[in-house]
Every structure is written in structure tokens, then in C-alpha cells.
Amino acid sequence: KKTVEDVELKGRKVLLRADLNVPMSEGEITNDNRIVQALPTIRHIIEAGGKVILFSHLGKVKTEADKTDKTLKPVADKLSELLEQDVTFIPHTRGEMLEDAIDDLKEGEVLMFENTRFEDIEGKKESGNDESLGKYWASLGDIFVNDAFGTAHRSHASNVGIGANIETVSGFLMQKEIEFIGGAIDSPERPFVAILGGAKVSDKIGVIKNVLEKADKVIIGGGMAYTFLKAQGKEIGSSLLEEDKVEMAKELLEKSEDKIVLPQDVVVAEEFAADAKHKTVGVDEIPSDMEGLDIGQDTITAFKEVLQGAKTVVWNGPMGVFEMENFAHGTIGICKAIAELEGAKTIIGGGDSAAAAMDLGYADDFSHISTGGGASLEYLEGQELPGLSVIDEK
């Protein structure tokens, strides 16, 4: 894919779509990772003498009232602080004020306009990929840099719509995501081990099926492991079970028995509560009135052994209810085990596991932590992402 490095930027109005959809609480940004990850591309355009016109969505905007806490203004302020440079914030998504400010931009200056989803209030223009909106935004610049990997699974006016009208290249973050996640799925260095967790099998079916075809081992933990244990005929007590997925789990186990690695012991609790009474039992001894909320120590050790010698590791989804201290050991143990692997490409496929690694202070020990949630999942499923396809099309 053509990148921001392959094109002339000097003096040009560069439309830059980033995914700055950061978590916020009471007007404060609670994790600025997506802004930090967008910096290399922004800095490159500044240094190359381009005029940066930056935009993103933030949350979902359905009514006029939503606008109050969905403004991108705090993101512009944070960016300005990180760049140590002024960022002109325009509180509109179209119109004269925005157009005039773009005309006034000088080389190396940065302008950010308001949340693209403000265009959804009068009929989903942004998220419905309204043709005239994509065309309008494209008309504001000379070239389009799409660096919004986290949004690549969406076909919206601010990525696909603009790309349909103007030369489109990728930014550094997009490149990095393609290199690591795309690389792991398409041409992994082997052994390739995938570790999948999270509550529901139904959320991850596509990923499980795709990685079973690509990986050498697929470790399954988290809530979804219990549906697989049930498929093996085990008593799982009141653990999470997706009854309608048991057959599928059986088929996958039969087809790929040598690849799938399941827990050997689990931490069971009397109820789903942080202070619930709990104990560790083998997977053949789960009491009928208790539920599994984490993997046990023997399982952590066994999973670690599978990881030894791996050259590519993809991790997606926690191993237990890691928000509760008593049931966080599995996720912490696995995070640490992957972080400590030497000579392996280690990739976290976004979402909860990315947050866990950052909270635990292991972020720097991974080769790549994806900025995508839904986008990483769909990428790992082997699906085509519209926000990626649009790059280089024109």
C-alpha cells in the first residue's frame, strides 16, 4: 500500500483521518494511547511541510444533546500538548468557518475539525457513508492520508467516502497494523501460537476458525473455554455456557484436536462477585454449584510451555474476570509470559487484552499492541476491511 512517505506533501492540504475515539470520563481522556499512536504520521506531515487537516469520530452521536460530551475539543487540547504546538480546533464539520481556516493554514500547521459523527444527527450521513459528504470533505484537501486503523472495519464517509474521491495513502499506524496483524495472519514466522480468551465464543467464532487454519497452536481460555470443556463432556457447573455453540465446539475439537489447547485447572467461585469464596480445581472436578472465573496455576504453566519457542504470538481476550483481583491471575500470568518471550513477534489484538497489558505496565514489552477493537477482530477473522481497501484505489 502506498504510504504517506511515498507522496509529496510540501505546501499541500493533507486530509488526515485518525482514530481518536479515546475513552473519556466526565470530559477527561482516560487513556490517550490512540492519540499517541497517531503522532508519528502527524509529525511526518508537519516536518514535510504539509498543512494538516485532522479529523476523527468520537463515540456515537445520535441526538443534539449527545454533542455536549462528544466534542473532540479535549482531544485537540491533548494533541496540542503532546505535539508542543498549536492545534486550531474548529467546532464544525463543514461550512465557511472551517473552509476559511483551511485556507489560512500555513505549512506545518495543524487544524482539527469537530467529531465526524456530528453529521449523523440529521440522518446518518457519516456512518451511512453519504456520498455528498465524502465528496465535500475530499474537496477540502489535496490528498487523503487514512491512518484510522481502529475504524477500518467501518465504511463511513470520513474514510471510504473521502477515499472514493481523492488520492488516498496510508499513515504509519495503518502500516504498522498491516505489518503485524496482517503479517501474522498471512505469513507468520512459525511456530505461530494464538491465545484467545474473553467471555463469549459467539464473539470470536470467526477468529477461532481463521486462526485454527493459520496457527500451529490455538490456546483457548477465558469464559469461552467452558463451552469447549462442555463439548468434551465435562461438568462445568454454573460456568458460562453457550449451549448453541457446543456442537460447533465439538466439531472444531474433532477437526483440530492436536491444535487446540484448553485449561487443565480453573478457579471456581460460589458466585460472580469480587469477594466470592473460591478455590482451584481440575477441569474434571468442577462442582455443579460453582462457576469458573479464571484459569488455574497449572494451566498458566501449561500455556507457558506451549508458548516457549514460538516465533509469532497473537493474543486476544482475557483469561478470566480480570477486573476482579481474585480472578485476574490468569490474565496477568499470560500477559507476563508473552511479554517475557524472547525472539518472538508478540501482538495483542486490541480491546480488553490491550488495556490489561497497558494497565499492568507491559505495553513496551510487546512487538505491537493494536489500536483496533472491532477492526482487529475482523482483521484476525480474515475479513476484508473497507478502510484498508480504499487506500491506493485512486
Q: Is 15 labelled a binding residue?
A: no
Q: Collapsing DSSP states into helix, strand and coil, what is residue 369? A: strand
Contacts with ligand 3PG: how many residues (CB under 6 A)? 8
Neighbours of 131 (CB within 10 A): 13
374 counts as binding ligand 3PG under rule CB under 6 A? yes
Residue 148 DSSP code: -
Interacting positions 172-191 with ligand 3PG (CB under 6 A): none
Q: Collapsing DSSP states into helix, strand and coil, what is residue 287? A: coil
Q: Is 154 labelled a binding residue?
A: yes
Neighbours of 139 (CB within 10 A): 12
Q: Would you call 123 a catalytic residue per the annotation?
A: no
Q: Would you call 78 a catalytic residue per the annotation?
A: no
* Residues in contact with ligand 3PG, shown as a per-residue x/- string from 43 to 62 under the rule CB under 6 A: -----------------x--
Q: Which of 1, 43, 73, 200 is catalytic?
A: 200
Q: Is 204 labelled a binding residue?
A: yes
Q: Would you call 343 a catalytic residue per the annotation?
A: no
Residue 201 DSSP code: H
Interface residue with ligand 3PG among 151, 170, 175, 299 (CB under 6 A) is 151
Q: Which of 34, 125, 259, 345 is catalytic?
A: 34
373 counts as binding ligand 3PG under rule CB under 6 A? yes
Residue type at 131? E
Stretch that binds ligand 3PG, among 75-83, 100-108, 148-156, 213-221 (CB under 6 A): 148-156
For the chain, where are the alpha helices, taking DSSP H only?
A: 33-47, 73-83, 96-104, 131-139, 162-163, 172-177, 183-186, 201-214, 225-231, 246-255, 297-307, 329-339, 351-359, 374-380, 386-389
154 counts as binding ligand 3PG under rule CB under 6 A? yes
Residue type at 73? K
Q: Collapsing DSSP states into helix, strand and coil, what is residue 265? A: strand
Stretch that binds ligand 3PG, among 150-158, 209-217, 231-239, 379-387 (CB under 6 A): 150-158
Dihedral class, residue 98 (left if φ above 0, else alpha if ψ from -120 to 50, else beta): alpha
Q: Would you call 374 a catalytic residue per the annotation?
A: yes
21 counts as binding ligand 3PG under rule CB under 6 A? yes
259 counts as binding ligand 3PG under rule CB under 6 A? no
Q: What are the grid coordinates assigned to 339, written together? A: 511479554
Q: Which residues are annotated as a binding site?
A: 19-21, 34, 57-60, 117, 154, 204, 292, 323, 350-353
Task: Provide the annotated active-site residues.
Answer: 34, 200, 351, 374
Please report, as ranges, the residues that interact with ligand 3PG according to CB under 6 A.
19, 21, 60, 150-151, 154, 373-374
